[in-house]
Amino acid sequence: MAKAAKTAIKKDPKQAAEAKNYTKVIKAVRSPKSGAYTFKEQIIHKDKVKEFLAQK
């Protein structure tokens, strides 16, 4: 499945250039109930990374 997506992006250079502007961000969030950490991950535009990490 991932190989098909890679080849689809390679065929269209405009999509490949736009895809490079996105980043996968993983943030550790502590549960108020149990105190355990969970991970919140999201794929967002590289300009909005600081906003995502600043959220509580």
Q: What is the pTM of this model?
A: 0.60
Question: Going by C-beta distance under 8 Å and a sequence separation of 6 or more, which residues neighbour residue 44?
Answer: 22, 23, 25, 52
Annotated domain spans of the chain: 22-56
Amino acid residing at 19: A
Q: How far apart are CA 37 and CA 29, in angstroms?
A: 5
- What does the pLDDT look like over 21-56, one tens digit per residue? 899 999 999 999 999 999 999 999 999 999 988 987
Q: Residue 2 has what pLDDT?
A: 53
Q: Residue 4 has what pLDDT?
A: 58
Q: How far apart are CA 56 and CA 15, in angstroms?
A: 32
